[in-house]
Amino acid sequence: MTSTWTVLNLLNWAAPYLEKYGSTSPRLDTELLLAKVLDCQRLELYLRFDKPLDPTELADFKELILKRRQGIPVAYLLGTKEFWSLEFEVNEEVLVPRPETEHLVEAGIEFIENNFPKGCPVLDIGTGCGNIILALAHHFSNLTDFSGLGIDCRPPALAVARKNTLNLKLETVKWLTSDLFEALEPANHSFDLIVSNPPYITSQEMVSLPQEVLREPSAALDGGPDGLNFYRRITSAAKNFLNPGGGLIFEVGDGQADEVKKILASHGYSAISTKYDLARHERVVFGLNSA
Ligand code: GLN
């Protein structure tokens, strides 16, 4: 590359290059990475097509494109990911928030609005960068009785979640290192809503994951032989921490909803229901602790 490269030249060079190496969104990836190097909004690139890049900018951009080519997710290269219209810091210690997880947030909002109009204590299990509980906290920031606790078994993930609390100024949310409920005690911790997007990839799928997903922490993906390990463990233990009338809401993988509904039913949850994502997959499963 020479110093005569302009924004437009680079977009036209890098997008087909990334496509050739397997990116399914090469133009978007290229624009996001170039905007990062030029420290501008993605759409501002369109006003700067003729801008030549200086040698440092060119070198930085080339380095990012090479890393992207190696399959590193764009979110890790940018250090951020948008979720629920909020910007979350992310790194290799946390799963990159997915748009379909917004359906879990929607279900949580609906449950709280219908049952706890002043808010309630909410637990998020396997919180990662904290996107789910922080999105709920943001939505309910005016409710006096809303409080959030995000737990995760990996301290490096919680370090990311803590940064997001500060960035988003949502200090009502607290964090605790805990392997599922291990560090919680029913006498001290009770909730009206428990949410979780647990690891749900099956062992068989784990060995053939796309290169990009392999960059994400396997602890955040691996759901055991049939992908349902965490649903079983959480559903049975959650009863000790859910108040009567409390709800349990899971995100589930494609084709898992029926099995997860059965797990909830076998532990006595009622009003079991599901919500679909935009691709018409049953993505969210709800159960009520009526006991
Ligand atoms: N709660 C985070 C998310 O949904 C992380 C989930 C996980 O690590 N399995 O994006």
Alpha carbon nearest to ligand 1 atom 8, residue: 220
User: Side chain identity at 235, as an amino acid letter?
Assistant: T
- The pair of three-digit structure tokens given for residue 247, joined into one six-digit string: 């709800």
Other Cβ atoms closer than 10 A to 167: 14
User: What is the predicted pLDDT for the residue at 131?
Assistant: 98
When pLDDT is averaged across residues 74-90 and rounded to a whole number, the result is 97
User: What is the predicted pLDDT for the residue at 3?
Assistant: 53
Q: Is the pLDDT of residue 280 over 60?
A: yes
Strands 80-83 and 242-251: unpaired
When pLDDT is averaged across residues 117-144 and rounded to a whole number, the result is 98
User: What is the predicted pLDDT for the residue at 291?
Assistant: 64
Alpha carbon nearest to ligand 1 atom 10, residue: 97
User: What is the predicted pLDDT for the residue at 170?
Assistant: 97
Domains of the chain: 7-70 (1.10.8), 93-289 (3.40.50.150)
Alpha carbon nearest to ligand 1 atom 3, residue: 97
Of 1-10, 16-25, 168-177, the least confident? 1-10
- Distance (Å) from CA 220 to ligand 1 centroid: 7
Q: Which of 132, 151, 234 to mutate to test the pocket of ligand 1 (most atoms within 8 A of CB)?
A: 132
Q: pLDDT tens digits, residue range 232-270?
A: 999 999 999 999 999 999 999 999 999 999 999 999 999
Q: Is the pLDDT of residue 282 over 90?
A: yes
- Distance (Å) from CA 127 to ligand 1 centroid: 5
Q: Is the pLDDT of residue 114 over 70?
A: yes
When pLDDT is averaged across residues 9-29 and rounded to a whole number, the result is 95
User: What is the predicted pLDDT for the residue at 4?
Assistant: 85
- Distance (Å) from CA 247 to ligand 1 centroid: 19
d(CA 167, CA 149): 17
Q: pLDDT tens digits, residue range 26-43?
A: 999 999 999 999 999 999
d(CA 68, CA 238): 40
Residue 6 DSSP code:
B
Residues with CB under 6 A from ligand 1: 95, 97, 101, 126-128, 131-132, 197-199, 220
Ligand 1 atom, smallest distance to 152 CA: 8
Q: Is the pLDDT of residue 137 over 90?
A: yes
- Distance (Å) from CA 51 to ligand 1 centroid: 39
Ligand 1 atom, smallest distance to 96 CA: 10
When pLDDT is averaged across residues 109-138 and rounded to a whole number, the result is 98
